[in-house]
Amino acid sequence: MRSLVTPLVLAALCAVVVPVTAQPADWGDLPDAHTDLDVYEADSSAAAVVLFDVGEARITNQLDIELERHRRVKLFSEAGYDQATISILTFRGSEDISGVRGQTFVPDGEGGYRRVKMDRDAIFRERVGDDRERITFTLPALAPGAIVEYRYRVNSESLLLFPTWYFQDDIPVLHSEFEALIPRTFSYVRANQGTLPFDIETSDQVNHFAGQATKHRWVRTDVPALREEPFMTTLEDYVHKIEFQLAEYGIPGYGIEKVMNTWEQLAEDLDDHTRFGGTLRSSRALRRQVEELTADQADPASKMAALYDYVRTAIRHDGRRGVFTSGSLNSIMEDRSGTAADVNLLLLQLLREADIEAIPVLLSTRDYGLVQTAYPLVNQFNYVVVLATVGDASYWLDATDPMRPLGLLPADALAGIGWVPDEENPMWVRVDARSPAKRSVSFEGDLDGSGTLTASLRVRAESYDAVWMRRAIEESSPEAFMRDYLSDVPGLVLDSAHVKDLHDLNAPLDVYAYVHIPDYAQTAGDLLFFNPVPLDRYLENPFTSPERYFPVDFNYPRTHRLTALLRLPDGFALDEMPDPVRLSFGQQAASYRCQLAEQGGQLVVRRTVNRDATSVDPSDYADLRAYYDRMVSADDQMVVLKRAAPAAEADTGTGDED
């Protein structure tokens, strides 16, 4: 876990795979499969590829953990040189690295390779914080086509620090293999993360100094690179890895020693903790504050709203996260500032003082990583929010943002699940968005015969869209916000902007603007061409990778509506207009509707984009990608106007009659 395991590899994301034969080799031995590889055909853009990465971890007769690692990488181009710089983070005092060796095999220009050993002076050690040390080294003589390899040994005095093994990297991995030798007297809970199966997974019983032991072996081959993709959480949530947590161990003659708590025990420990459960106690100052704030409130819902608004506006969040308070609730209220735990646990206790049912819920935010429910460890969590119940309704509360209304969690807190540390009944609860982000645009404009569009518009936002818009406007101005919001419209000039209900969080946020867009329509002889969707078009498909091996995570539902009324220029008539478009993905998981109509010299555009799905399985990725392609095409259609022919003049001649 985060504070217990040594990160050995920086992970990243997925691509496409075609099997390539590559097996581990002895130190310095170069098989033809390694030297002849000039490009990885399954991912021809890869600047380097891991030929093999082999690790062996064991518990020794000194009751420590020893890891030996041997890794070899082929560099295809200069862009892959960063793979030759290695950084290893360890715990000072409990872990030690030894036996670091490295070498580079450089093409000699005649079909062979010359070996360049890494000098020991290339190894650097630096202290990181109070309890960490970083070892860094760079392999020498880098060149396109070079092969670099290194190995080292890590000894850990703590049985808690059994290493996590990453089978995936930000470049393709041809062969990754991990062996773990664990005596049967040691019980480790193991968590495997990854969507693809192992090529080899075996467990054999062998002799050990402590009696019988299990030798585990896992092998993955042709592992695609893990790269940043749109609509995902942290990379650590998707990388293929195995991690271990010591649950209990036994030493002959001394019995069994339990190491890992149960969730019930952890809940009890948190209730006794001086900066968690011990903080949630009644006090005269808290009761007095509640009495003042709720004196004019007749029902529990109004009291909850008054207490939430007080904490939201009076207690400043200092930007820090965590699940433990920094001091007493009285001091937090006096200082009017605190961490997220300070703010939300103060709100929790104020609600309880008002006889409103409220419980804490611990979360791991989206950028912190998935919670492993098999590991009852508090350091998996980095955030705490409040779940309040009034009558038959429940409300998510987080008072850290003065621009966030009651009932709306931070987008980063929508982590799927949260844990309630109740002593008698600890439980997992679903944590997701209860209202979609909503944005509607009303656009009314006049198009003249030269192609200039002059218009007024209103952008109305609710829920998550209103939160980020309010914050952006508060930090700058309505004009600056609208310039940024409209920046995708070529040539647009913002004439003015103003906002309504900026601080009324219970009302939709309205932003008004006046704009003009020279050359909005293009002229060609008697024709005038223009796109009928003036704002919020899909200009490109965000999903560029042909395949994806982990879910698409949209976080929360979203609805966008556009209503545009465009008055057509005098002397022009409608010549071509796109047909109505109706698109959908899945069982109405997402939909797109766009319809145009002419009404008395005006073009009316109604467009709605709706997405109810918050997560899309990798098996549906191809369909999702195709759906976005169709939306881009639909938003790229044009309206054509044609100049009306002038009326023919009457014949007034006096020619002779036949």
> 648 pLDDT exceeds 80?
no
**Confidence band for 7, pLDDT divided at 50, 70 and 90:** very low
SS3 assignment for 376-434: CCHHHCCEEEEEEEECCEEEEECCCCCCCCCCCCCHHHCCEEEEECCCCCCEEEEECCC
Residue 436: its pLDDT value, please?
Answer: 93
**Confidence band for 582, pLDDT divided at 50, 70 and 90:** very high
Residue 647: its pLDDT value, please?
Answer: 58
For 597-631, write each residue's pLDDT tens digit.
998 899 999 999 999 999 999 999 999 999 999 99
The DSSP secondary structure of 36-58, one letter per residue, reads S----GGGTT-SEEEEEEEEEEE
SS3 assignment for 585-634: ECCCCEEEEEEEEECCCEEEEEEEEEECCCEECHHHHHHHHHHHHHHHHH
Residue 17: its pLDDT value, please?
Answer: 38
529-544 mean pLDDT: 95
Residue 361: its pLDDT value, please?
Answer: 98
- Mark out the alpha helices in 80-131 (DSSP H runs): none
> What letter represents residue 457's amino acid?
L
Residue 211: its pLDDT value, please?
Answer: 73
> What distance in Å separates the CA atoms of residue 225 and residue 2, rounded to the nearest whole number?
23
Residue 185: its pLDDT value, please?
Answer: 85
Percent over 70 (pLDDT), the chain: 93
> What distance in Å separates the CA atoms of residue 348 and residue 432, rounded to the nearest whole number?
20
> 653 pLDDT exceeds 60?
no
232-251 mean pLDDT: 88
**Confidence band for 431, pLDDT divided at 50, 70 and 90:** very high
Residue 116: its pLDDT value, please?
Answer: 97
**Confidence band for 39, pLDDT divided at 50, 70 and 90:** very high
**Confidence band for 287, pLDDT divided at 50, 70 and 90:** very high
Residue 427: its pLDDT value, please?
Answer: 95
> 16 pLDDT exceeds 50?
no
> 439 pLDDT exceeds 70?
yes
**Confidence band for 14, pLDDT divided at 50, 70 and 90:** very low
**Confidence band for 255, pLDDT divided at 50, 70 and 90:** low
625-645 in b/e burial notation, b at 16+ Cβ within 10 A? bebbebbeebbebebbbebee
Percent over 90 (pLDDT), the chain: 80
> 20 pLDDT exceeds 60?
no
Least confident of 19-23, 247-251, 434-438: 19-23
> What distance in Å separates the CA atoms of residue 45 and residue 138, rounded to the nearest whole number?
23
**Confidence band for 587, pLDDT divided at 50, 70 and 90:** confident
pTM: 0.85
* 273 or 61, which is more confident: 273
**Confidence band for 658, pLDDT divided at 50, 70 and 90:** very low
Closest to 314 in 3D by CA, of 288, 332, 296: 332
> 10 pLDDT exceeds 50?
no
470-477 mean pLDDT: 95
Residue 486's contacts (CB-CB under 8 Å, 6 or more residues apart) are 492, 494, 513, 515, 535
> 94, 157 in Cβ contact below 8 A?
yes
> 28, 185 in Cβ contact below 8 A?
no
> 115, 101 in Cβ contact below 8 A?
no
* 575 or 7, which is more confident: 575
> 650 pLDDT exceeds 50?
no
Residue 21: its pLDDT value, please?
Answer: 54
286-294 mean pLDDT: 95
Least confident of 17-21, 127-131, 481-485, 642-646: 17-21
Average pLDDT, the chain: 91
Residue 589: its pLDDT value, please?
Answer: 94
* 424 or 321, which is more confident: 321
H or E stretch covering 546: none
**Confidence band for 159, pLDDT divided at 50, 70 and 90:** confident
> What distance in Å separates the CA atoms of residue 66 and residue 50, rounded to the nearest whole number?
23
Closest to 246 in 3D by CA, of 59, 506, 439: 59
For 352-410, write each residue's pLDDT tens digit.
999 999 999 999 999 998 999 988 989 999 999 999 999 999 999 999 999 999 999 99
54-75 mean pLDDT: 93
Residue 254: its pLDDT value, please?
Answer: 56
455-478 mean pLDDT: 96
